Each structure stands twice: as C-alpha cells, then as structure tokens.
Amino acid sequence: CERGLQQVTKNSPLHGLLLSTLSEVQLKSGNTALATINSNAAIGILFTHLSDAKETRVAYWLRGAYQGLGDIEKENHHPAIALGYYNKAIALIDQYYKGQRKREKAQLSVLSGHVLLQLNQPQKAMEQYNAALSLMMPSFQPTTIYDLPQASDLYGESSLLDALHGKAECLNALNKK
C-alpha cells in the first residue's frame, strides 16, 4: 500500500482506495489510531469524487471505507458509532447499486447485527440477521424470529454461517430476558 501511495496522484480515487486498504492492514495489526486516520482520509478523498461520472468505482470503494471505519470503531468498543458507519455503507449500496451487491449488503447486515447485540438490542440484531439471510436466500422470508432457512437452501458462504450464529446469539439473549 505504502509503495502504491507514492505512485498514485494525491487525492485521486486510487489514493483514497489505497488509504482505505492501508487502514484495513493497520486494523489487523492492532494499530487502530493510524487505521482511523487513514480511513477518515480515504473517506474524505473518495467522497469528493463520488459525483464524478468518470469514476464508476468510487461508490463501491467508499462503501468499503465506511465498512472499514465501522470495523475500527467496533474494535475500539464504540458499537453505536460503528453502526452509523455500517448504515452509511448500506445507504451507498442502496443508492448506487439498487438490487445489486447483495453479498456486501448481507455482510453489512451481519456486522450491524453484531454491534446491535453489543448494544444489548437482540430484537433489532435479529432483524439484521434475518435481512442478511433473506438477501442471500431470497426464499427465506421469516414470519417470526424463530424461523430458520430450509436446510436445502443453505450453501457454502461464511456470511450465512455468521448470520445463523448471530440468530442463535439473539435467541439466547432474548430467552435470558
């Protein structure tokens, strides 16, 4: 990333993408302070290019930067702030990719469910997990929180497992109340 940052035009969309990628590496390395700085810089750069019709990938990259900043805030034990960034990423998908990017939207719903559980809101978290499952399996349309997808509809996707695990955590939390 750092080598690429030296090669690209400063404040270009690629510069923003590389800063976002660098922040993900820094988060995985445990350096949340630098990750936050680079993620915010990436968002600032990418946001300025969002309306540029020639830059068709910017909305997707900005979605990733918001998701990354949400992950940083989640790691820093700020679940409400993380949820705000996940919602911004979902809004970008809804605005720029109507009906597309279902996998990414499902992943964001799962992440939102996780932080809602941290906020002790299992009912709202369950809604997010169900939304993720419905995005990945359109035939799954739950009528109660206890509904599960048919076994024959399941397939190998980590987000499915995360959503089902999240549902189990929600049910456990709801039964403890």
pLDDT mean over 102-117: 97
Residue 45, pLDDT > 80, answer yes
Is pLDDT of 1 > 80?
A: no
pLDDT band at 103 (very low <50, low <70, confident <90, very high): very high
Does pLDDT of 177 surpass 60?
Answer: no
pLDDT of residue 43: 98
How many Å apart are CA 159 and CA 136, to the nearest integer? 9
Q: Which amino acid is at 12?
A: S
Q: What's the distance, CA 44 to chain centroid?
A: 18
Determine phi and psi for 99, rounding to 5 degrees.
Answer: 80, -5
Average pLDDT over residues 160-166: 94
Q: Where are the alpha helices (DSSP H) in 8-154?
A: 13-28, 32-48, 58-75, 79-96, 102-118, 122-136
The reported pTM is 0.92
Selected residue with higher pLDDT from 144 and 32: 32
Read off φ and ψ for residue 85, nearest 5 degrees. -70, -40
pLDDT tens figures, 56-90: 899 999 999 999 999 999 999 999 999 999 999 99
pLDDT of residue 100: 92
Return mean pLDDT, the chain. 94
What is the spatial distance between Cα 88 and Cα 24, in angstroms, rounded to a whole number? 18
21-40 pLDDT, tens per residue?
Answer: 999 999 999 999 999 999 99
pLDDT above 70 covers a percentage of the chain that reads 99
